[in-house]
Amino acid sequence: MMNNKNKVTIGMAILFEIVLIITAISNILSKQWNNLLLSILAIICIILPFIITYIAHKKNIILPSSFNIIALLFIFLSIYFGEIRKFYRILWWWDIFLHSVFGIYGVIIALHLMKGIITKNKSVTQKRFGILIVIFAFTFSISLGTLWEIFEFLGSYLFKVDMLAGGFEDTMLDLIVKSLCAFITSMICYYRDFKTEK
């Protein structure tokens, strides 16, 4: 049975898809081919969180309950608002904001994956296990951030759009922001969940 959160998520996805389809049609009429490619990319990407959730459910992998909503928002805010509506150029902090969210949420996803997949060995203390989980969460978040930078590079290279507005400096600033946010979130999670335990 579908709960309220699932209804909200599906409603958001449908709304985003409608906006993107209307945008794609507008791009065709105005012959904005770069934006058309971005619109099509976003339409496809909106489906991905549901595919990931379906596979995770089949494999008994635990994802955060907010995974689909956050993923949908991130995709829509980055591709539609960031690229198509030019928020990356209009708002200097837009890119930094999205990469900060990415760094924070990457840690949260990793913590859920670790808690769901790894069974604790009784000979390992909770504190040491917590250190392992936090290190994995941090590196997982950084890995996701690196994959996103590769996505931005391929988008710029293949579709001739300006996803790397500042070139090397943009990429490095994005990675630094993500790393810093992932580190801070990891430390907060460690002290909240494991530091006080024996």
More confident residue, 188 or 195: 188
Domain ranges for the chain: 1-85, 89-198
> Is 80 exceeded by the pLDDT of residue 129?
no
> Is 80 exceeded by the pLDDT of residue 164?
no
User: For the residues 34-40, what does the mean pLDDT come to?
Assistant: 92
User: For the residues 3-11, what does the mean pLDDT come to?
Assistant: 86
Share above pLDDT 90 across residues of the chain, in percent, rounded to a whole number: 38
Could you give the residue ranges of the DSSP H alpha helices within the chain?
Answer: 4-29, 33-58, 67-75, 87-90, 94-117, 126-159, 168-193
> Is 90 exceeded by the pLDDT of residue 10?
yes
Assign 158 a pLDDT band (cuts: 50, 70, 90). Answer: confident
